[in-house]
Amino acid sequence: MSVVPPSLLERRLIIVTGKGGVGKTSIACAVADAARRKGKRVLLVETAPVEAAAARFELKPIPVGYAGRTLRPGLHVMGMDPHQALAEYARLQIGLGLITDRVLKTQAFRELLDAAPGWRELITLGKIWQVEQSTERGGRPAYDLIVVDAPATGHGITFLDVPRVVQQAVRTGPLMRHASWVEELIHDRERTVMLPVTLAEELPVSETIELVARARTEIDLEIDRIVVNRMPEAPPTGLSASLARLPKDLAFKVLPEPTVLAEFAGDAIARATHALHERSRVSTECGLPIVDVPVVPGGFGPEIDWSTQADLVLEPPSWPNAGNIGEDAA
């Protein structure tokens, strides 16, 4: 179990997914920013209706919108808008101009779209496929790497399965053909990888185990590592024992009084030990190595330099040693 997977930088498409609240968007930004600092031309695609990536880079973020914006040299961010993508698709791929515009504007068509399932996912993936294919003059790809901040876990799987479902429902015509192209990209184990993000906590880990199993059996996706976000640093051995020996009457200048300090630090040690267990659980159950991203004090925000933490995402993943955790002398 010591296989080191290829670097994330060798992929074309990285689909970042995970349970809500685990820091999926932050990790997507971290991957994208670390890659562009390595000289890659990166596109970051946001799929959530609320834009969140620009707020990691700018104090007063202006919306990036569907056309997107270059946030840093080599890093372009776009906000997926299924309606705009659909209009673009109908115009470019089907080759209809004015007629399309007229149709798309009808009340009846909007009603249909509001209720019809699946098309948002399909058109989102279709747009990603189109960007992946697009080249500059001379045949060089427009982007070296596309990072997708995918919908939260449950929806994330449904999202990636839509091209297959559509091909079964629509057996002929351009839609079927296009869905098959998209599906081919998703299943391409060389180009595309899913990057699950979790926290070293019970529920996110359980959900990640389920996500990885479903992604493998239902969608047949390449997954080669798991990102454990906000991984607490392992407490130094013997810390609990040392804390227990603190004289009660010690007066600190900045730190809280010894009893309070010992209890507070004790809770933090308990959390860190629990985190180590959960991290090794997710690795063992999924049979995948782990990339740790520590807590960024203050968070992945514009006023914080989080490039050190971001670079860690590109480091080769490691296999946590299940036998060597929770060794604190507590």
Partner 1 sequence: MSHSSAGFSLPEALESAGVIVCAGTGGVGKTTLAASLALRAACLGRRTLVLTIDPARRLADALGIETLSDEPAEIDLQAINKGLRSTGGSLSAMMLDPKPTFDRLVDRLTDNKESRQRILDNRFYQHLSEALAGSAEYAAMEQVNEVVESEDYDLVVVDTPPASHALDFLAAPRRLRAFLEGRFVGTLLKPTMSAGRFGFRVFGRPLHLMLGLIERIGGSGFLDDLSEFLSAVSGIADGFLDRALRVEKILLGESTRFILIGGARSGTEPGTLEFLDELKTLDAKLAAIVLNRVSPWPLSESAEAWLARADGQGMLDDKRRLAEIFGAVDADKSRDQAEAISRILRESAIARSDANQSRSLLAARAASSGIECHLIDEHPVGIDRLPSLFSLTEPLFKETSA
Which residues, 97 to 116, sit near partner 1 by CB under 8 A? Answer: 99-100, 102-103, 106-109, 111-112, 114-115
- Residue 235 or 317: which CB sits closer to partner 1? 235
Q: How far is the CB of 299 from partner 1 (least distance, A)?
A: 4
| Closest by Cα among 194, 130, 190 to 160 | 194
Asked if 326 is part of the footprint of partner 1 (rule: CB under 8 A), the reply reads: no
Answer for the pair 19, 212: CB distance below 8 angstroms, yes or no: no
Give the H or E element holding residue 204. Answer: helix 202-214
Asked if 52 is part of the footprint of partner 1 (rule: CB under 8 A), the reply reads: yes
The distance from CA 294 to its chain's CA centroid, rounded to whole angstroms, is: 16
* 2, 3, 39, 50: residue in contact with partner 1 (rule CB under 8 A): 50
Distance CA 128, CA 143 (A): 11
Asked if 298 is part of the footprint of partner 1 (rule: CB under 8 A), the reply reads: yes
* 37, 40, 155, 216: residue in contact with partner 1 (rule CB under 8 A): 155
Residue 67 CB neighbour total at 10 angstroms: 10
Q: How far is the CB of 18 from partner 1 (least distance, A)?
A: 9
Give the H or E element holding residue 194. Answer: strand 192-199
Q: How many residues bind partner 1 (CB under 8 A)?
A: 87
- DSSP conformation letters of 77-126: EEE--HHHHHHHHHHHTS---HHHHHHHHSHHHHHHHHH-SSHHHHHHHH
Residue indicated by tokens 């971290």: 30
- Residue 5 or 301: which CB sits closer to partner 1? 301
Answer for the pair 203, 266: CB distance below 8 angstroms, yes or no: no
Which residues, 205 to 264, sit near partner 1 by CB under 8 A? Answer: 233, 235-239, 241-243, 245-247, 250, 252-256, 260-261, 263-264
* 11, 14, 16, 23: residue in contact with partner 1 (rule CB under 8 A): 23
- Residue 213 or 250: which CB sits closer to partner 1? 250
Asked if 59 is part of the footprint of partner 1 (rule: CB under 8 A), the reply reads: no
Asked if 274 is part of the footprint of partner 1 (rule: CB under 8 A), the reply reads: yes
- Residue 11 or 279: which CB sits closer to partner 1? 279
| Closest by Cα among 14, 4, 12, 27 to 197 | 27
Asked if 165 is part of the footprint of partner 1 (rule: CB under 8 A), the reply reads: yes
Asked if 63 is part of the footprint of partner 1 (rule: CB under 8 A), the reply reads: no
* 299, 305, 307, 315: residue in contact with partner 1 (rule CB under 8 A): 299
- Residue 156 or 289: which CB sits closer to partner 1? 156
Asked if 204 is part of the footprint of partner 1 (rule: CB under 8 A), the reply reads: yes
* 1, 171, 248, 249: residue in contact with partner 1 (rule CB under 8 A): 171
At residue 76, the 3 state secondary structure works out as strand
Burial grade of 47 (CB within 10 A; 0-12, 13-18, 19 or more): buried
